Amino acid sequence: MKRPTTYEEQRALLMSRGLVIEDNEACLNFLRAVNYYRLTAYLLPFKKCDGTYGDGLTFDRIQRIYEFDGKLRTLLFVAIEEVELYLRSRLAYHFAHTYGATGYLNKENYNAAHDHARFIETVDAAIKNNKSTPVVKHHMQLYNGQLPIWAMIEFFSIGSLSYFYKDRFCQVSIL
């Protein structure tokens, strides 16, 4: 196992591999905030076979790439969230109006590939993991713990949402 290195040692290692660091303090501050291991992932495309970095590669350039990546990721997450919310809304609406509020609990409402026992385990786990939320408490008290699809779908992970879609909606156009 490698031994931990100080920020100064990390900076020195980067410099020994050919990274040009013009502002030593800015580099140290960045390492404190970001982590050496994360930073080195951004250096991989510039790494030569001998372990050094391309001629003239600057820390400033790597930092700008890192910052751009963060901004791009933020923009993508906003867009993905909008798509996810739209998908949840459309799936819940369609399923509720086709099969009723709790029709998602009926294995007959899915295709032949559907593993209903596994799906119900996922539903039960989602309810258990969210048992302290007002929504689940409300449905526990008034509806014996059954949540309508429009409430339940909010507790599905992206994986569960994908599984739900695949096992029912692959053959139906709702979008």
Closest to 167 (Cα-Cα) out of 118, 120, 114, 121: 114
3-state secondary structure of 32: helix
* Same domain membership, residue 113 and residue 47: no
pLDDT of residue 71: 96
* Same domain membership, residue 89 and residue 167: yes
* Same domain membership, residue 85 and residue 52: no
Could you read off the pLDDT of 120-138 as tens digits, one per residue? 999 999 999 999 999 999 9
63 in a structural domain: no
The answer to whether residue 109 scores a pLDDT higher than 50 is: yes
pLDDT of residue 172: 47
Q: Could you give the percent of the chain with pLDDT greater than 90?
A: 83
* Same domain membership, residue 93 and residue 13: no
Could you read off the pLDDT of 64-78 as tens digits, one per residue? 999 999 999 999 999
Mean residue pLDDT across the chain: 92
Which residues, in sequence order, are CB contacts of 54 under 8 Å at separation 6+? 18, 46, 48
Q: How far apart are CA 159 and CA 84, in angstroms?
A: 12
Q: Quote the domain boundaries for residue 93.
A: 74-171
* Same domain membership, residue 48 and residue 81: no
Q: How far apart are CA 114 and CA 101, in angstroms?
A: 19
Q: How far apart are CA 149 and CA 92, in angstroms?
A: 6
Beta bridge partners of 53: 47
79 in a structural domain: yes
| Maximum CA extent, the chain | 69
* Same domain membership, residue 78 and residue 53: no
* Same domain membership, residue 80 and residue 117: yes
pLDDT of residue 102: 95
112 in a structural domain: yes
* Same domain membership, residue 118 and residue 51: no
pLDDT of residue 169: 61
* Same domain membership, residue 120 and residue 41: no
Q: What is the pTM of this model?
A: 0.64
* Same domain membership, residue 98 and residue 52: no
pLDDT band with cut points at 50, 70 and 90 for residue 35: very high
